[in-house]
Amino acid sequence: MLFLLAFSFKDCCFSAMNDDSPSLKAAYALSSVDDNRRLYAAWAKDYDREFAGDMDYILPQHVARLFVDYGGKGPVLDVGAGTGLLGQLLYDYCEPIDALDLSQEMLHAAAQKNVYRHLDAVDVTVPIDQLGRRYDGIVSSGTFTHGHVGPDAIDNLFALARDGALFCLSINKNHWSEKDFGAKFESLRSKIVDLTLVDVPIYGANAVGPNRDDVGVIAMFRKSVITPAS
């Protein structure tokens, strides 16, 4: 799995952002669904270069590595897939992979990576019944970050998971505390098994700025298998 961690965006060029540009600071300050839609629509084209490249963003590598190491398999749903950085890393290991994101523009960028089977513009903060598909793996990197995607979105993902499905979700550590993800996992105790929490750095050694040392919690767990009463 070493290659996953070695994958980097160093070949991308670096560029300065002005105050009107979409930026990490702006993304962390988002609080509503509409704000998110607007910011990511503007950011989609340059996200890989300006954000992932400049910040040495390594969170998708950690999520991919842990999902594969813990035996994750397809079909997989990538939640808040963005431009498809996580799908690109998983593609050689599991298939099919579907992408779900609020932003049609981010999905358009993801589609160009040719790793996703279906790409759907969906809001994970409300119940999702339009997909008509269920998954053995549910992954997410960078979507449970700040603002509006809180712990209750996990309930909406649950309905999309098959019994025994492996979840591998990154949650920004500050967001974890602010929104009390601990209480959510406590409330899910009868519905999940094998909960494992792993702290990982979100950004690599070449990251710059005040967020360069931010930490993500990766929550891995399986949806319990319900056995029919005899």
Ligand X SMILES: C[S@@+](CC[C@H](N)C(=O)[O-])C[C@H]1O[C@@H](n2cnc3c(N)ncnc32)[C@H](O)[C@@H]1O
Interface residues toward ligand X, by CB under 6 A: 33, 36, 40, 59-60, 80-82, 85-86, 101-103, 106, 123-125, 141-143, 145, 149
CB proximity list for 199: less than 8 A, separation 6 or greater: 173, 215, 216, 217, 218
In whole angstroms, the minimum distance from the beta carbon of 41 to ligand X comes to 9
Q: Which is nearer to ligand X, 91 or 190 (CB)?
A: 91
Edge to edge, the sheet with strand 215-223 lists 119-121, 97-101, 76-79, 135-144, 161-172, 215-223, 192-201
Q: Which is nearer to ligand X, 95 or 123 (CB)?
A: 123
For residue 29, give the 3-state DSSP assignment. coil
Q: Which is nearer to ligand X, 23 or 145 (CB)?
A: 145
Q: Which is nearer to ligand X, 53 or 80 (CB)?
A: 80
Q: Which is nearer to ligand X, 59 or 76 (CB)?
A: 59
For residue 121, give the 3-state DSSP assignment. strand
Sign of the CA dihedral with 79 first, then 77, 41, and 16 last: positive
Count of all residues that appear for the chain in the document: 230
In whole angstroms, the minimum distance from the beta carbon of 86 to ligand X comes to 5
Q: How far apart (Å, rounded) are the C-alpha atoms in residues 47 and 109?
A: 9
In whole angstroms, the minimum distance from the beta carbon of 20 to ligand X comes to 19
In whole angstroms, the minimum distance from the beta carbon of 18 to ligand X comes to 20
In whole angstroms, the minimum distance from the beta carbon of 53 to ligand X comes to 12
Amino acid at 142: G
Q: Which is nearer to ligand X, 60 or 75 (CB)?
A: 60
- Chain position whose Cβ is nearest to ligand X: 82
Q: How far apart (Å, rounded) are the C-alpha atoms in residues 144 and 225?
A: 25
Show the tokens assigned to 187. Answer: 């409330």
In whole angstroms, the minimum distance from the beta carbon of 25 to ligand X comes to 13
Which residue, 132, 139, 164, is CA-closest to 154?
A: 139
